[in-house]
Structure 1
Amino acid sequence: MAEAASDLAARTAHPRNSTVANAPAARAPRAKRSAAPAITVSPTPKHLTAVRGPLLGWYDRNKRDLPWRRTRDPYAIWLSEVMLQQTQVSTVIPYWERFLARFPTALALASAPLDDVLAGWKGLGYYSRARNLHRAAQEVVARFGGRLPSTAEELLTLPGFGRYTAGAVASIAFGEEAPLVDGNVARVLSRLFEVEGLPGDKEREATLWALATALVKGERPGDFNQALMEHGATTCRPESPLCLLCPVRGACVAFRKGRVDELPPAKVRATPKKLTLALAVWPHAGTLLFARRADSGLFGGLWELPAAEVDADLPEAEAAARLASALGSEVKLEGTLGTVKRQLTHRDLTLRLLRVSGAQRPTRAPAFQELRWCTPAEAAALGMSTAMQRALDAALGSGVLNGD
């Protein structure tokens, strides 16, 4: 621990490498402080010890009973870490259990069609996670005989593995002294060691990773990393942190200086962009037309009622013409079936449902990877976003297939 503390001090002692030293006043919240204090984040071994031991003891007494904490299977632990990215624990638990039952090993996942994987992911969002999970499983089979490599360095060579995921799997599943920093950990470390800077600031991120590297050195690195995350999720919360219940309150610089509410400063979120899509609801003989998007971009690789981006106030006839261009086929507008609105993380999404028909049924299209005519039962097995599922439900609820 002393060696790690020395390394950290060397990294942060010089003003250019410190997150806080000589920081401009603009970095501090204007409403509370006029200038950031000129300090250097270089904790002593005593300070690091005062955090590590008590936090591990607190974790042993207070950790939540989560299903992925009852297994030592690296594949199952990896799956939980991928699902937990930007998704609440309560949402992940049933998905993790179902997905693991359906794809119990890396080999089973690698062997499954991507459509099946995306269908099993339906409702979790951020579908690039599922595509990367599938690709990584195939590489695990091809390069590592179906077993996840045991070091963060090797894990980083797999699709979808960044520093956080590699550190989490390596430490929790294999006991490597590998650090990790996620949103919860960043908040805890920012307060414990008074780390300045806005989320995303390069110097701040380097300091946080250096702190995490110093702290993870020692016994039970996986449990310690989970203790950091658990503490941030349940006690050192963004709003109304439970400082009186904090096991490391005495080691918290922000608590001692009355700065808990200031650190870390809130990240300014961009206003969600408005996006309107026209959807082709094309019935034929008990089926509807579905299209699979390109792998990149919004809803990449997923199935949908064929969609084209339109202006919010574009007349229906012109919207139908956009759909005809995307499908590469003549489209006749038969009527409208209403709209579906969804709030995504970065977009306010409006889906305009247009009932259409045509003299010929398209089987391929320039704007999509693949087209299929599916019954509602067949469509249930497709990998489809929640937003598109809501649109499909609305279309079926309108009776669009009743007599076609």
Structure 2
Amino acid sequence: MLKGYLRQDGKKGIRNYILVAYTVECAHHVAREIQYPYREKGVHVIGFHGCAPNTYANNMMEALCTHSNVGAVLIMSLGCENLNKENLREVIKASGRSVKTITIQESKGSKLSIEEGKNWIEKQISILKETPQVPMAFNELSIGTICGGSDATSGITANPVIGKTFDNLLKKGITAIFEETGELIGCEHIMAERAETSELSEQLIKTVDKAKIYYQNMGFGSFSDGNAKGGLTTIEEKSMGAYSKSGNSKINGIIKPTIQPPKNGLYLLDVVPDGSPMFGWPNANDNAEIAELIACGAHIILFSTGRGSVVGSAVSPVIKICANPQTFKNLEDDMDINAGSIIEGKETIDEIAKLLEEYIVKIGNGNLTKSEALWHQEFQLAYKKFGNLEPGCLPS
């Protein structure tokens, strides 16, 4: 059993954060100046850098600002951007969260905007201390997973550990989300055999085919120089490792960024934009995908890494599962779980999965991950374009 913060909209979060949300890059500095003195008190910065309109960015900001781990939001606007700050404010207000908008062009500039923002943040910190904590069951918990800085050990240790943990926790009723369709190329038919329905089976194959075509058009696949130096040889080898994060349970549906799973179960998050390439790489970096998992409701992110990644995230805590024993020794201050001990013959996949499950409960009850303790709060939101979900993607 976990303890959650009860929101007015009925959601329960495992954190009680305040967001400073900038609506264009021109307001980023002011937002950061407001947030930084309070970073140890649960105040995070998120935002959209673009000035041109983008429906995906609007939807992402709305989903993140009303996430169950968030209790209040300060919107930082320059004043002439295209992101719909008025609608964002109304969505946040309707969810029962405290919200304030500061527009720099109307607040006599940076200095006074920063002062006004800090005053509001200090009041909200005091108010949020009164947020009630209530029992939170596993079937109210959502967990996302991603791998980054993968090497040849990732698919042998850390990723199978996450898959096993998902299988164990799905039996207890959690919602589990895995993604990286560009790193599932070659695994689509194996994955389709686990679909809840024949319609979903067809959609899983179609979704990975879309990613394959997108990358071909971009002229660049989801395979880095670091992956090769770490011993991975082909996208198929990398895909098999990435696929193992999903475990062996039945797959219940496909979602896209900001779509909340309609029921508990296991879901594939399709992060590759629909249509022809317009805005650049579909997974510019791991934090862009972490943000998308969080926008789908994930309270916690399980992050596997072989070569080593030190990132955390705004909004939801990131648990780092290290695949490589040497990497764990090099980066022990940044890694939460040492799955590399499996290679050394010290522990089994089942034993590390049990350890990870126990660790998830601790994080859900307020313990800090390594990245949280180091104040990692990385965030990125870029341009993308998505259409509607196709029939058969979601359970009926």
Q: Under a length normalisation based on structure 2, what TM-score does the superposition of the two structures give?
A: 0.22
**More strand per residue:** 2
Higher RCO by CA contacts (8 Å cutoff, separation 6 or greater): 2
Max Rg structure: 1
